[in-house]
Every structure is written in C-alpha cells, then in structure tokens.
Amino acid sequence: MTEKGQIRIDAQNIFPIIKKWLYSEKDIFLRELVSNGIDAITKLRILANEGRLDMPDEEFRVDVNFDEEKKTLTIEDNGLGMTAEEVKKYIAQIAFSGAEEFIKLYQANDGGIIGHFGLGFYSAFMVSEKVAIESKSWADNTPAVRWVCDGSPEYEIEEIEKEERGTRIILSLLDEEKEYLDRIRLNEILKKFCSYMPFSIYLGSERINPSEPIWTTAVSELKDEDYIEFYKKNYPMERDPEFWVHINADYPFNLQGILYFPSMDRPEEIKSDKLNLYCNRVFVSSEMNALLPETLNYVRGFLDSPDIPLNVSRSFLQSDARVRKISSFIMRKIADRLVELRTEDEEKYTEMWKRINPFIKIAALRDDKFAQRVEEGIVFETSDGKMTSLEELLKKTYGDEWREDKETQHTVFYAVPGETIGSLSRLYEKSGKTVINGTPPVDSHFFYHTELKKAENKIDFKRIDSELSDVVKDDVEEKEDENGKKPSEEIVETFKEVLSEVEFEAAYLKTDEIPLVLVFPELERRFREMTSHTVGTGDQLWGHKAIINMNHTLVKRMLAGSENPLDSEQMGLVVKHIYQMATLPHRKMDPQTLDELYISSGSLLSLI
C-alpha cells in the first residue's frame, strides 16, 4: 500500500542552522537587511506608478544607525511597510518570499526587486540575540505593528504607535558581535555591498551611495575618460586597462556591466578574482571569475544580473545552465569588441595587440566559437611592418574564393623576429610571398590548431627557415667540369672539408645578401617549441641543414677558375665565419666563441 506524507521542518532545529550556515560571510546580514529596505521602496514606487497611491514627495532612503550603549543596530526604510497580517505571513514563515507574492499579486514585473527567496531577513540572527521589527503599512487605516523574536521559534507581536510609513529593524547584537557598533566597520561593509543601490543609503548623516553605477549609463553618453576613471576608482593600484566592453542585454537574460581587459605591461602581476558580481546593483562577490572561461579569468569588471541569485556560489556558477549561457555571451561580446577596436583605430589597436595577443590566442585555442568570432581581430605583423589577419592574407595570396578551393595547398609563410626576420624575409617578400611574424611557443600551438580546424581548406604554416621554397630559388642549369662535378657539388665538398659534421646543401637563391641559411624540420621544431618551457634559450642547433647560396660573392670566389679566388686558408676562414654567423640567432655563445667570431669578422672584411 502506498502512503503519502509531508516533510515537516522543526523550527527549533532550523534556527541554529540559519545562524551558522545561511551565508558563508557574516557581514552579508547587513546587505540583506538594507536590500529588504530597498525592495520596500521599489514596491512602493511600483504601486505609485500603477496609480494605486500618490507618489510621496520625499527622499526615498534607508538609514543605518547604531547605539553603542544599548548594543543595537537599526536599519530603517520609508518604503511600503507591513500590516500585522503581512508580518505574520512574510516574517513568521521561513522562506516565504514577499517579493514573489507581490509580483504575482499586482501582476507587475520585478522592477528591480532584489530578494526572491524569503531568507534574507533571518541573516539578522547570525549576529543578534534579539530582533525587533516596527512597521507601518502604506495602506490607509492600518495600525503599526511591532514583532519581536529572540531566535527561538516563539515570537511576540503587538500594535504600536508609529506615524511614519516604512519599516524599522532593530538588532540587539550578541556580545561577540560588537564590531558592528563601529562606524568605520559599518562604513566599510556598506560601501562594499551597497555603493550602487538605487535609493539613498545613510550611515548616520553620511550618504554611502552618492553615484550611479557607470554600467547603467548609455554608451553614447560616456567617454573613454569616464570608463578609465571608474576603473581607477575601483582598482586604484592598477594601470589603465587595455580596453573595455560595455554590456547591456535583456534577452535571453538580463545582464548589464562593464568588463575591463587589464594592462598587460607586467603579465606576472595579473591575478584572477577581480570580477565583481551584482544583483540589481547589490554587490554579491568579487570572486566571480568562474563566470568566465579559465583563459580569460584575469578580466576585471562589473556584471549586474537579476538572473543570478544573491546567495550564489562557485559551484552554482559551474553547474547552472543560465550561467553557462551568460559566459558564452560574454565571450562573444569580447570577441566583437576586439574586431570593432581594430576597425576604429588600427594603429592604436596594433600597439595594444603586441601586449595582449598571447592571451587572446590562448582563449581562441580553447574556445572554437570565440575563435570564429574574433578571427578578424587576430592579426600578425608582416615583415614590411603592416598588420594582417589570416583571412586577409589568404585572400591576398590566393584570391577571394580561397575557401572554396579544396585542392590547392594554401601555404602561410612565417618568420620569428630576431632569428629569420632579416634578409631571408626580404627575399620571400621580393619573391611575391608575404611573411608574417610568429612568436613561439604560443603561435606554434595556434598554427597547429588552425591547420587542424581548417584542414578542408588545406592551410599549411611554414616557417621560412624550415625549408626553402622554390619561389626564392633561381632555376639554374649547371654544367659539369672536366671531373664531372657541378659547381654546387664542388662548393658542398669545400664546406664539408672544413665542417664535416654539418649537413650542407647548395642552391641558387634570388639574392646575393645571404651566404648561408640554416633550415630546421618544421614538425620537429614546432614540437620542441610546444613542449619546451625554455624556448629561445640554450643550444637550438638540433637536426639542422645548412643551405649554401651559390649567388653570394664569397661563395663564388671559392669555385675553381673564378675571378679573385680564395686560397684554402681563406676558404676555411670564410666557411667557419658564415656558418657561425648563421648559427648565432640559434644558440647562446660563450665569450671565447664570440671573441673568435669578432676576430674572424675583421679578417673577413679584409678579403672583401
């Protein structure tokens, strides 16, 4: 036989739980009680707007006062007020939300009402031995009422004399909670949680919230200086932000705010947990970076959403579907803003991009939707100092229809500044190939990821010193000498006699600037860059091949029968010198080797 029952809550046992576990941070009790006062004012205005009462001609406000002698803390508002029946319904029933019933009763939207759970008031018992409520309703001909409870399931309620509309909550604090009778401490808590609430909040005669939050102002009414001033006010120890994103959405969720991308001058100083979350202007937490993916958890700023409850936790953020949608929306807004900034001022964007590009690329690696959205904002400097996105580069090289061409291998040539950015880059440019600058290890990952994601378009990234493309070589038909040797074979033998351990190859490059080029296998180099934490340090001369340029003056003088030929001693000196010069960007040289290089440079100049 099946039985049905009803779960019962023993109030005697639930009060200790409320006192200890309702909120993880005890200071929140003051936020909750002030928020209740703000809600009472908001409800009053909703009724006035609907014509149910005349709008009172007075300043709407919440007042916080304390009495050290009596050990009391008082929070008072001039809002809607309550009748005796409403006090019994909303206060005496734990987790009964007056806000929810109000919205249903008057068929209104929430109008910015903060509380929806009916638990906030009971946070008062976290710090109080007794709580009293004195309230007078807005409704005519209703007496004021006083409700008192000492934290047990029993309470007392009686009619009292009270002329002013609104509610006064009086906390008789526990002996161990005297810190809440200190003006400085109360000021700190109120400014933290209540600075942007929509109605005036006073601590004694001092107003706590004199200014509107900047995110409620229309973008068209704000200047760059306003955003920066607001940032510096809230993050006084930080440098100006790189850029910001102003958010204002009402579908499929309500979300306002401003996100700031912090200065990247000193990335080692960047820390997470600087994203401030608000619910209808009420501060919730500064540790809400879980709203963002890990790759952007250093973003600063302010988000205000009534769709995220005041008792939010990190575990809630990680599991709630609405929060995941908000996170995706934020990523889209950041991507769109980056593309927009490039369009607005490319020169300014380029300077910023030099600092922020590794962070944006890493975010793109982790989030394909973000990568697609920000594609036109991810740019690379070319060897001639211009900026280009990959899309623009591929269109320039292969035409507007490059995406539809599934047969052609779409090669993107890149160089690493400081290593291959010089004469070799110029050689590719002169041969009609644009060379972009890449920075390992981030770009090693980014290029590999792009190749995989765009495999159907056959995109291939090649570092210009991984192998020499035919576009930079002259097509020369060599003649054999009487011994059956070609000039290139003769030169390779000459170099091998001096440096037998090096693998040499000869080619006719379309330049006479470069005597010798070192090339490294692309896949092996990329693997090393992606797995090494010490890229660019130590000896990087693994598995390379040395390409000798047959068109260089000194190389020509090593051939038998050439004009002004070098003797064997001179050739040995030249071979060692041009090889050492080629290896210089790839290794750390000891002082003795550098000294030898300087000496050989002097001797080489005398030959030329």
Q: What is the pLDDT of residue 326?
A: 84
Q: State the CATH number of the domain containing residue 248.
A: 3.30.230.80
> What are the angstrom distances between the C-alpha of 435 and each of 449, 455, 552?
19, 21, 23
The count of domains in the chain is: 3
Kindly state whether residues 354 and 400 are assigned to the same domain.
Answer: no
* CB-CB contact of 312 with 277 (8 Å): yes
Consecutive H or E run containing 224: helix 224-234
Sign of the C-alpha dihedral computed for residues 13, 18, 22 and 24 taken in this order: negative
- Could you tell me whether strands 61-67 and 200-203 are parallel, antiparallel, or unpaired per DSSP bridges? parallel
Q: What is the pLDDT of residue 538?
A: 46
Kindly state whether residues 163 and 241 are assigned to the same domain.
Answer: no
Q: What is the pLDDT of residue 250?
A: 87
Classify residue 1: in a domain, yes or no: no
d(CA 389, CA 377): 7
Classify residue 5: in a domain, yes or no: no
SS3 category, 436: strand
Kindly state whether residues 195 and 64 are assigned to the same domain.
Answer: yes
Of the residues 372, 406, 431, which one is the last residue of a structural domain?
A: 372
d(CA 167, CA 76): 6
Classify residue 4: in a domain, yes or no: no
Q: What is the pLDDT of residue 2?
A: 56
Q: What is the pLDDT of residue 274?
A: 78
Which pTM was predicted? Answer: 0.80
Kindly state whether residues 321 and 447 are assigned to the same domain.
Answer: no
Classify residue 418: in a domain, yes or no: yes
Classify residue 6: in a domain, yes or no: no
Of the residues 207, 236, 263, which one is the last residue of a structural domain?
A: 207
Kindly state whether residues 234 and 300 are assigned to the same domain.
Answer: yes
d(CA 127, CA 31): 13
Q: State the CATH number of the domain containing residue 532.
A: 1.20.120.790
Of the residues 323, 347, 372, which one is the last residue of a structural domain?
A: 372
Classify residue 2: in a domain, yes or no: no
Range of the domain at 566: 378-607
Q: What is the pLDDT of residue 535?
A: 45
Kindly state whether residues 254 and 295 are assigned to the same domain.
Answer: yes
Task: Give all strands (DSSP E) within 204-358, no chain letters.
Answer: 206-207, 243-249, 255-261, 275-279, 282-285, 300-304
Kindly state whether residues 410 and 386 are assigned to the same domain.
Answer: yes
Q: State the CATH number of the domain containing residue 181.
A: 3.30.565.10
Please enumerate, as own/partner, the contacts of 420-427 that have beta carbons within 8 Å and a separation of 24 or more: 420/463, 420/464, 420/465, 420/585, 421/383, 423/511, 423/513, 423/514, 424/464, 424/465, 424/514, 424/517, 425/383, 425/464, 426/383, 426/511, 426/513, 427/472, 427/509, 427/510, 427/511, 427/513, 427/514
Kindly state whether residues 417 and 467 are assigned to the same domain.
Answer: yes
**Low-confidence residues in the chain, pLDDT < 70:** 1-24, 94-119, 266-273, 289-290, 309-319, 418-421, 532-541, 587-608
Kindly state whether residues 327 and 459 are assigned to the same domain.
Answer: no
Closest-CA residue to 368 (of 453, 455, 457):
453
Q: What is the pLDDT of residue 595?
A: 54
Q: How far apart are the first and last CA of the chain?
A: 108
Instruction: Give the position of tokens 């390409």.
Output: 547
Kindly state whether residues 437 and 569 are assigned to the same domain.
Answer: yes
d(CA 94, CA 590): 76
Non-local (6+) Cβ contacts of 28 within 8 A are 123, 193
Kindly state whether residues 254 and 140 are assigned to the same domain.
Answer: no
Note the pLDDT tens digit of each residue in 16-63: 656 655 556 789 899 989 999 999 999 898 888 888 888 778 899 999
Classify residue 552: in a domain, yes or no: yes
Kindly state whether residues 222 and 176 are assigned to the same domain.
Answer: no
